Structure 1
């Protein structure tokens, strides 16, 4: 009897387990369904709230737009211009510091200091409204910088993952940066680029680093070219030897196994030649990029462009602000009524 009842008990236990699992899934699906139902209810409630107060919100937008139009008419027309630069020798922080200094002078309305710094009139200095600088973000800059780290120090790279390197990559580490200036006059920008560039280029520290770097490049370039010339000479010698031995072999029946070794050496010289040529190419690229402390990709436009857009339009900004203020007031009022009703129901 005990042996017959054991399978039945196991079947009962399995059946109970499946029932419990089924109830668990049912509760889970019911919970998910309730979440979507609450979201739908909240969405419909929000639409009904907006429908009831649509007239008030429209009036708020119109009033805000009218006030914004008043300020828009009184607002000065502003112009912008941009300069793209490629800093070298870790001079980026100095450049950012200089741009922030110029912007502080603008905020303080120190037209005398601005006029002296940029060698412009006080009138032009008073027209300056803002200086800012930001990097042209490019993921290739991060990848290339990490590759340079790996090639230069494999031990560090093993304990320093790409994600860690990417998280510590700052705005100063990008290659190209944009200097953006806003002014009330559209013809003042061409007078600004030289002082901005000079503030970094004439720095003695960066000039010393530049001189040492270029001297090392020139020395390496000279040594590599000498090595390349010697390899070319050796290749010519090997070619002559191979040609002479080939003539001897054609005139007789002797087989010279040493010629094979010479051919292998000639191939090794060819590979070395290619490696040196590649290194010379890298040096040429470095010279083209790092002959100056600050490479200017594009200067400020002689005539600035007029700055437009919703984020600069007072009509749009005041209209949106009016709607937000009325919307917050209505929501607070609705919440207060709900709390009063809840209190009375207790």
Structure 2
């Protein structure tokens, strides 16, 4: 008996909810429609004012282009080049601090001290505009970083990897006003880096250790040669091939193959040490400075285009200012009425 009454009592509420949702959808539709209408109105208003003020905008573009040309003749053009080197002793801060000191002297215009440090003439030092150093990441290190950065759970491992990263390849970037300055500048900078007392001590210690290790390997190689002669004599005396490849020395059997393998291993280490001593690997130039014909400061055409774009942006800002000013005037009129 109570079911019909309950149904009647609920029906008005449901109809009210339907009416409220309908009003909500209508309000949202009107808001979206008004937004796009205002957006189109603003777009067409901008076009109208731009065409109305085209003379002022063209004047700003021409003025900007002339300013770019003036900047080209006012600022002395400079050229940029890079050198890649590898250092077995420099790590991050040491090389960075050395090059930053040179760059600071360039920025201050202290060419006398700069010339003394680099052992060059003051005239050549005046042609140096900037000297910077960047640490290069090896392909293997870059691959590991790309692997870990996409994994959310490997952030700590990635931080540890970057913290303990010790690649020794660096790139030195220089900016000069005269391209002839680049001739021999790579050797000049390398000599300046090598003259660091801290590095000189490390180089001397490392070279001494390499020479001592090479001498020890030479003695071990001579001992192995003596051992090989005894083994060969024992093998011949016993009769080759009768009792296998092992030979007896001091009542102990030994395998000559292991001795020969050890001799080749020592010989390979000697070759590696000779290579390090020969190429003077404390600082090794990988790519030298290259002279480029076009200045890094930009050509006259590029500076003119940059100035024209800047003038166009200023013109659009002027148009937006006019739109905002007219909008504020209309709003004030509506409020006063």
TM range, normalised to the smaller chain?
A: 0.5 to 0.7
Question: Equivalent of 1:168, from 151, 163, 168?
Answer: 163
Q: What CA deviation, in whole Å up to 9, does each residue of 1:163-203 have, x standing for no partner?
A: 33432267xx4433233322323323446555533433223
TM-score w.r.t. the length of structure 2 is 0.62
For the 8 Å contact 1:91–1:206, the answer to whether it is kept is no
Partner of 1:138: 138
- Residues 1:128 and 2:117 aligned together: no
Structure-to-structure mapping, 1:304-323, within 5 angstroms: 305-308=293-296, 313-323=302-312
Summarize deviations over 1:273-313 as a string: whole Å, max 9, x none.
Answer: 34333433443344345x36433445556x67442475994
Q: Which runs of 5+ in 1 are unaligned?
A: 1-36, 145-159, 250-255
Q: Does 1:205 align with 2:193?
A: no
Identify the residue that residue 79 of structure 2 maps to in structure 1: 79
Matching residue of 2:170: 177
Whether the 8 Å CA contact 2:76–2:177 is kept in 1: the answer is yes
Q: Deviations over 1:298-337 (max 9, x none)?
A: 5556x67442475994223323333344445555665777
CA contact (8 A) 1:118 1:192 kept: no
> Which of 251, 256, 268 matches 2:258?
268
In 2, the alpha carbon distance for the partners of 1:215 and 1:116 equals: 30
Q: C-alpha distance in 2, partners of 1:138/1:308?
A: 27
Between Structure 1 and Structure 2, whose CA radius of gyration is higher?
Answer: 2
Q: TM-score, normalised by structure 1?
A: 0.61
User: Residue 131 of structure 2: SS of its match in structure 1?
Assistant: strand
- In 2 relative to 1, CA 267–60 (structure 1 residues): closer, same or farther, beyond 3 Å? farther
C-alpha distance in 2 between matches for 1:185 and 1:242: 73
Please say if 1:219 is aligned against 2:212: yes
Distance 2:140 2:219 in 1: 34
Could you tell me which runs of 5 or more consecutive residues in structure 2 were left unpaired when the two chains were aligned.
Answer: 1-31, 145-154
CA gap of 1:209–1:110, structure 2 versus 1, over 3 A, is closer
Counterpart CA distance in 1 for 2:220 and 2:45 is 82
Partner of 2:64: 64
Give the one of 273, 291, 303 matched to 1:283: 273
| Cα distance change on mapping 1:237 and 1:191 into 2, 3 Å | closer
Tell me the distance in 2 between the aligned counterparts of 1:142 and 1:288.
30
Q: How far off its partner does 1:266 sit?
A: 2.0
Q: Is the 8 A contact 1:207 1:293 kept in 2?
A: no
Computed over aligned residues only, the root mean square deviation of the Cα atoms, in angstroms, reads: 4.6
Equivalent in the alignment of 2:114 = 114
Cα distance in structure 2, aligned partners of 1:227 and 1:143: 41
SS, match of residue 90 in structure 1: coil
